[in-house]
Structure 1
């Protein structure tokens, strides 16, 4: 997986989380989501 795909997915996750939850949760979730991407 190239870095462009990772950046795009991260951007989508952030835009999905931002309206519903505080920024703090986005920061908390991001490493877990990236970790899952790198594992697969």
Structure 2
């Protein structure tokens, strides 16, 4: 699911990888992504 979040055009700005070991996630955008994913799961 995180891989989809990382490449989704509307939500990809919420994923930051400053180094290969550290990933920063914008929790608010990730929560919006989960809501969007739940609403569109059967499309």
TM-score, structure 1 normalization: 0.42
More strand by share: 2
Q: Normalising by structure 2, report the TM-score.
A: 0.40
Q: Please identify which structure carries the higher helix content.
A: 1
Structure with higher Rg: it is 2
Bigger relative contact order (CA 8 A; separation at least 6): 1
